[in-house]
Amino acid sequence: MKIAESFRISWRSITGHKLRSSLTAIGVIIGIAAVIVFMVLGGAFEANIVQDFEEDQGDPGMWVNTQNTNQGFEIVPSPIYTETDIQTLESIDGVEFVAPEANLQASQLSFGDTLQTGGFGVQAVDVEQYSEEDMVKGEMYSSGNEAVLTQAMVDTLGGAVGPGDDVTINFEGGVSEEYVVTGIVEEGFGSGPDAAVFVSLVDHYNTTVETPRGTQEQAYSSLIISAEDASAVDSIKQEATEYFETDSDAKELKQEEQDIAVQTVDDAIDQITAVIDQLTVFIGGIAGISLVVGSIGIANIMIVSVTERTREIGVMKAVGARKRDIIQLFLVESTILGAVGAVLGVVLGLGLGFLAVTFIGWPMAYPVNWILIAVAVGLTVGILSGIYPAWRAAKVNPIEALRHE
Amino acid sequence: MQEETATDGIVTLSEVKRTYYLGEPVHALDEVSLSLPEGSFTAVMGPSGSGKSTLMNMVGCLDTPDDGTVTVNGQDVGALSDGKRARLRGSELGFIFQQFNLLPRLTAAENVTLPMVFQNVVGESRRDRAKTLLTRVGLGDRLDHTPPELSGGQRQRVAIARALVNEPSVILADEPTGNLDTETGSEIMELFAELHDDGSTILMVTHERHIAEHADRIIHLVDGQIEEIEHVTENPPVQGSETA
């Protein structure tokens, strides 16, 4: 029996039971749509983050920090990068500068009557990281009791802060210091929060460690390596990584179960997208469970259909249908249900996903791979759930079937 | 007891035995030998449980003998695989049932050509064939009607057209008038007479004497054995027809 013929006959039987076929297909539609919605949301979230990263990306460069082995992502704030390391890195071809990052543990910031508790960072930063273009207003600090704020910090404080104003920072441990704001920068450096206060490194940071050579040196918990231009990023990353693996102070100073990570913006994006991908697949997998329910629905209705059409099966056998013809008819029918369910599920999923994404304000994502997978899964679900009913149909004894009422 | 030797004939049964075990063995067919010559019209009568249905299923290649052989157009049915027997049913046999047994969601034309589907005959020729046959049974204007839209007699006419579609060697009719009123039944028998006149080989099971008398001969089955083969000398006149 030609496949096209079985499509024609099966389609007739599906449309002959409109309500039943629709309800059956809905089982698959919901399953597929649920998976697609989560894939759209995951993809859109990812696209949104990547977009943010790329917007934030100022000068080409990379971060160096310490992470616990096998725990990725979680940065360990231990001072292991010495002045010697910084000087060695600065000698790499294409490096513009290497700047240490030193986070100061601040708990509260006050400007007049405005109090900001948490949600901001205070970093001791080398003056050379800034150029004139970075400044929105005012100028760079030149002494220990002066500070520069990011635009986000200014916004947090109500927008009224400007050069010449005084802010007070309460550090953890009870110390409180007053600073004069000298300037505003568009955005901060490195990985800290957007709302940040920058103060002079030389005046506010004095953690020293004993180097492997027995000397005392200032040491920092993370570094920013800035490249002269984007094309140098890869080679710098390679050389820096090599240095940290061979004869850096940091290698000797770090704990055994810690790793030194040299990450470019692209690396960070890759790392974040990998996590989002895993999360998306995990949630999608849970949504996929409903597909199992959908496939049981198809199998159920097909078994009912076989019982109901026993007589028809007998007639078809009497007029020359072989077992494989009968199997083909029922498999095609269940496959059509699965395929229609998959296609409608994809459409519904994309529609709902689009609504959700638009509502949240993320860019729309089309998870092409998952759409293909969903359609394939729909077909597979249709075929698998049709196998047993089809086999039962093929087994029908025509003599008994023709006597069947 | 008379027996025919199974030598020639488009269908032959030779010492066919078929036993069912329903608690105790039931000899549905007990060494039955029979031959259906080409162009013959044979009726089978007998009380219920006499083996009529089993005989029909044997000739219809729906069942195979426990012992003995059945041949249809020269092929030993018992030796064929399941799939080959199905193909043989489609090409050599045309079934007409008491319950009509049309597929309710297919049109008359599609029902008629259903056996062609399983023989992989495709294309426009199918529709033409359906039209020719439905015209022949008097339903040339009902091609696209579905069975629920047709009367009982019309449905049986569609079933007859379906039985003819692959030009079978034998037409098998199981109580073809059993679900029809007398007048419609007569019209159907008129159609059978026409088919017979055109040279079709027909085997018909019935329990009605006046229906059986349309055949050339009547086989009386009792307890799975042929009790008597009665040759009909004069067919009864079919209502509204001078040709029968």
Are residues A226 and A135 part of one domain? yes
Structure tokens at A237: 């990353």
Most confident of A185-194, A369-378, B137-146: B137-146
Q: Which residue has the tokens 């025509």?
A: A398
Provide residues of A within 8 Å CB-CB of chain B.
1-2, 5, 9, 12-13, 16, 311-312, 314-325, 398-399, 402
Count of domains observed in chain A: 2
Neighbours of A187 (CB within 10 A): 14
Structure tokens at A119: 């949600």
DSSP string, B85-141: HHHHHHHHEEEE-TT----TTS-HHHHHHHHHHHTT--STHHHHHHHHHHHHTT-TT
Q: A390: alpha, beta or left, given left = phi > 0 and alpha = psi -120 to 50?
A: alpha
- Of the pLDDT bands very low, low, confident and very high (cuts 50, 70, 90), residue B157 is very high
| Chain A residues closer than 8 Å to B91 by CB | 320
Query: What's the gap in Å between the CA of A403 and the closest CA on chain B?
Result: 9
pLDDT, tens digit, 9 for 90 and up, residues B15-58: 999 998 888 888 889 999 999 999 999 999 999 888 898 999 99
Looking at A176, A199, A230, the residue that finishes a domain is A230
Are residues A113 and A24 part of one domain? no
Nearest-Cα residue of chain A relative to residue B168:
A319
Q: Which of A265, A382, A296 is nearest to A334 (CA)?
A: A382
Are residues A100 and A225 part of one domain? yes
What is the gyration radius of the CA atoms in chain A, in angstroms? 33
Check if the beta carbon of residue A180 is closer than 8 Å to that of residue A140. Answer: no
Host domain of residue A177: 94-230
* Cβ separation A5–B106 shorter than 8 A: no
Q: For chain A, what is the mean pLDDT?
A: 85
In a domain, A72, yes or no: no
Query: What's the gap in Å between the CA of A21 and the closest CA on chain B?
Result: 15
Q: Which domains does chain B have, with CATH numbers?
A: 11-231 (3.40.50.300)
Structure tokens at B108: 């008359």
- The residue count for chain A: 405
Measured in whole angstroms, the distance separating CA B94 from the mean position of its chain's CA atoms is 6
Check if the beta carbon of residue A8 is closer than 8 Å to that of residue B126. Answer: no
Nearest-Cα residue of chain B relative to residue A16:
B105
pLDDT, tens digit, 9 for 90 and up, residues B61-83: 999 999 999 999 989 999 999 99
- Of the pLDDT bands very low, low, confident and very high (cuts 50, 70, 90), residue B2 is very low
Query: Kindly report the CA angle at A150 between A145 and A153, in degrees rounded to 5?
Result: 95
- Hey, what's the torsion of the CAs at B158, B162, B164, B168, to 10 degrees? -150
Are residues A15 and A121 part of one domain? no
Nearest CB to A2 within list B89, B122, B166: B122
Q: Which of A201, A57, A24 is nearest to A124 (CA)?
A: A201
- Residues B142, B150: Cα–Cα separation, whole Å: 9
Nearest CB to A315 within list B86, B103, B122: B103
Are residues A196 and A121 part of one domain? yes
In a domain, A315, yes or no: yes
| Chain B residues closer than 8 Å to A1 by CB | 117-118, 120
Looking at A202, A230, A258, the residue that finishes a domain is A230
In a domain, A258, yes or no: no
pLDDT, tens digit, 9 for 90 and up, residues A146-204: 888 888 888 888 888 888 888 888 887 778 888 888 888 877 665 566 788 888 887 77
Query: What's the gap in Å between the CA of B196 and the closest CA on chain A?
Result: 21
* Cβ separation A320–B119 shorter than 8 A: yes
- Residues A155, B92: Cα–Cα separation, whole Å: 90
- Residues A160, A165: Cα–Cα separation, whole Å: 9
Are residues A113 and A14 part of one domain? no
Q: Which DSSP helix (H) or strand (E) runs through A100?
A: strand A95-104
| Chain A residues closer than 8 Å to B175 by CB | none
Q: In angstroms, what CA-CA distances link A100 with A62, A336, B180?
A: 12, 63, 100
Structure tokens at B173: 């009719």
Query: What's the gap in Å between the CA of B99 and the closest CA on chain A?
Result: 9
Reply yes or no on whether the pLDDT at A129 is more than 80: no
Q: What is the mean pLDDT of residues A307-328?
A: 91
In a domain, A203, yes or no: yes
